[in-house]
Structure 1
Amino acid sequence: MPARPTIDDDQRRARLALRHRLAPGARADRAEQVVDDLVAVHATDPATVFLAVSARLASPGTADTERALYRDCSILRRHGMRGTLFAIPAGLAPALYASTTAKAVARERARLLKDFAASGRDAGWTAQVEAAVRAALADSPVELTGSQLGELVPQLRETIVYGAGTSYQTEQSISMRLLRLLGMEGSIVRRRPVGGWTSSQHRWALGPAAPEQPTAAERAYAQRELARRWLARYGPATEDDLVWWTGWGVREVRTALAGCAAVEVELAGGATGFVLPEDLEPVTAPAPWAALLPALDPTAMSGKHRDWYLSPAHRPELLDRSGNLGPTVWWNGRIIGAWAQRPDGEVVFHLLEDPGREARDAITAEAATLRLTLADARVTPRFRTPLERRLTA
């Protein structure tokens, strides 16, 4: 039996630099190019989308991302992998829904109907409120906030008791639960926020009718296509990485990898990775590069196994208690520190190892560029890490 091809950590870092548009010569001209190459950008924290894209543009800034999100709608916010909100290329929406979101929507709708029924609101009542929300958005000449929708559809202002009789009993608004579900389905869509680009209070607009639940064959096809797209940008990667990123079951991931005709390769330490069959040739390493990437950046959060770019010794400083990565400093494909923005707007960083003068100069230049991009905006990550907190103190 012939030996498996080997792809070492240096080659993985070279691929990451080029395919994630982090090396200077690989920077993009438009936001759509960046999001397409990253497949999906975490959008739980609104600032992540703008800063992740800006770090990969030849001319850094937030204006082109605003254009793509709010004028051209070529980038959409959608719930996807692991039930998380992402910014995705508009063309990916059908595959994302069929492969991943539809199952989450079915679970969420079942929970919502159960919780609403417990408070005396049956499925017919829920359907009437949904129809009223869509009608309000259809009749409005402008996009509407949740509060404005509540003025037009008073049922949204009502509350239910969640977890009655338990230690976690709390009140939840109908608006919070129902608008989230409709947003997951895509029948209403998040548009320009109230305030600046760091705001998470979005206005809503009417979207298309919610898609039908996919058949098993449609789901399998969509999973194969999403896996192929991800592997082209993040491979080589392990089966565990794809399980973690997608939130699919192991059997689903194995079926998707087989459908892609993914090829086994040997990674550092003897682990088994996968690449697409046309992706076995080595790539040429780019010139040295530095980057300051935001919290939850998709490159940093790309998989379960991260030792090849994140030293285990650095993890306690850079991750929160749930394993979310905060703002990171990169040098040649490795995370070597963190950055933060202080209340006066200054961008500061701390390195957890000494990378040498060339690296320090390049990182300082990236920090200066980031400060210009931020301008008057102030960014505090939603998921804060020990080092980021200390840097802002």
Structure 2
Amino acid sequence: MDGQGRIYLKRLALSTFRNYGALSIDLDGRHVCLFGANGAGKTNLIEAISQLSPGRGLRSAGLPDMARVEHGAAGNAWALGATLFDGDMDRLIRIDASIEGGGRGKRAMQVDGSTATANSMSELVRIIWLTPAMDRVFAGGATERRKFLDRQTLAHFPIHARHSTAYEKAMRERNLLLERDFADPVWLDGLEERLADHGAHIAFHRTQTVARLQKAVDIRPDGAFPKADLSLEGAAEVAFNAGQTLADVQDMLKAALKDGRRRDARAGRTLTGPHRSDLVVIHRPTGVPASLCSTGQQKALLIGLILSNARALEAEEHLRNPLVLLDEAVAHLDPDRRAALFDELSALKGQAWLTGTERSLFDGFDERAQFFEVAAGKVEAV
């Protein structure tokens, strides 16, 4: 692979992270295949990489949960170091997590020796992933599909995380206020204005991401991973797709929240807003909703969407090629689909990290990837 203009990890180092006491691996820009027995620590490695993105990583774990357990007791700190090749220069990244009293965690980030924030880190490196836990995205409820979509959206709009956190906080406060017999209407007005503002931004980011994703799906070649037709269900998202402005949608949400106060008070929760939206996915070759597809078709659709999102990110001039993390994604693919996956990954600018139990699962990658055997907290190049 030509490294010019690409973004990839050149080095990853861990200290007391999960089952790793101390680890350092050097990389040359090719894709990375990690193989070893179940429980060896393969997923722990890509979970560490996912800490470079907004949120809690691919396992949604708290900082204390990632500290190494020794002699039956969890540690009180862990650290991650990485060298990121940023197009034409190396960027040095460090994350230090400390576990305080009461099991609370605190994270300090640095880039090139200077203090960094989660937002500035997310502007530096974009990460998308697929894990076995996501296999039920289509078969499960709307919550799972929203989580999947919001993870894809974060790679396009890192500020999406900030709006989502603020939205959830305002919604909790509104729900508590509505439980009172005589809720202060002025206080409710203020909370609903915050909800409408953050909710409109959330819906806008989602509609933009789905539009970019659909465009990338459409231009991908037909092949092993079927194309999908995507749409969003939700009043705010539908309004944006109809041409409404951000201010229009904010006003619409604010009016709907005010009108729904009595109903929401009776229900004990907020029934209006983007926290109830849904991602609709149709298997294009058959026209069947993804929820009704076979397990194999759903897996192929998911892989196709992740590949499409990587292409969508690369297509945006102001964005950056992502790191793609695929945990146990190849084990249930037939040889033809595995070969197709390796070919599509090789066509991307970014660096993919894949895990599997056997080295033979990655034979089709040949010289396009580096291979590492993982065993009991040790990683060896092979």
Q: Is the TM-score greater than 0.5?
A: no
Normalising by the residue count of structure 1, what TM-score does the alignment of the two structures yield? Answer: 0.29
More strand by share: 2
Normalising by the residue count of structure 2, what TM-score does the alignment of the two structures yield? Answer: 0.29
Whose relative contact order is higher, 1 or 2, with alpha carbons under 8 Å and at least 6 apart?
2
